[in-house]
Amino acid sequence: MTCSSYREAISARLDGEALGMPSRELDDHLTSCPGCAGWAGEAAVVTRRARLAAAPAVPDLTAAVLGALPRELPGVAAAARTRLADSALRLALLAVGVAQAAFVLPVLLTGAGAMSAPVHMAHETGAWNLAVAAAFLAVAAAPRLAAGALPVLLSFTALLLPVTLADLGAGHVHVERAVAHLLLLAGVFLVCTVAWRGRRRRTVRALAGRQVAA
């Protein structure tokens, strides 16, 4: 379970709502995670302050507020769009991973389809390319792994791209095999996008947390 799930449970506890997990499990996490323990302390202070502050006298704006409300709350619509985009990215990555595995598996099992490379070379490249497919599938299943997969995937792509172009020019590679590398490019692009979106979301959350704490 991630820290954000525990923080949801902390908020629920402060509001006297159901935690969505055993209370004991939350307490155990709070003793072992200083980040969440600090967050819980700050959240408690904010909640107390909000409850203790005397409500200032305000004019009744109900009619004006209701009149100004959009038909659909923008926050809700944006969250739905984000979820949709996340799912689409993961599905695309799943498709690329499966296609890459399907392309590589025969090479790995039989040593065939690797042009005139010696059998062990074919096996070795096959294993490497299957590992790349596994990385795509792993990120599709668990997007938080995206950033960690990037150093290897980006180095591989950065090295393979220029040598493939040079080999194409010199006639050392069949066009079909070079075209298969487009799968790699597509997969790496998707992993980069997943990592970038995850990072942006964490930054936004951290900024929001800092504003709450301030």
Query: Which residues of this protein are in contact with Zn ion, per CB under 5 A?
Result: 3, 33, 36
Question: Which residue, 7 or 129, has its beta carbon nearer to Zn ion?
Answer: 7
Q: Which is nearer to Zn ion, 13 or 90 (CB)?
A: 13
Of 17 and 25, CB closest to Zn ion: 25
Residue 186: CA count within 13 A, CB half-sphere:
18
Q: Is the CB of 36 or the CB of 137 nearer to Zn ion? A: 36
For the bound state, the minimum distance from the C-beta of residue 9 to Zn ion, rounded and expressed in Å, comes to: 11
> Distance between CA 65 and CA 86 in Å, rounded?
33
Q: Residue 103 and residue 181: Cα distance in Å, rounded?
A: 10
DSSP run (H or E) holding 199: helix 175-213
How many Å apart are CA 149 and CA 138, to the nearest integer?
9
Least distance to Zn ion, CB of residue 2, Å:
8
User: Phi and psi of 116, rounded to 5°?
Assistant: -100, 20
Q: How many Å separate Cα 49 from the centre of its chain? A: 35
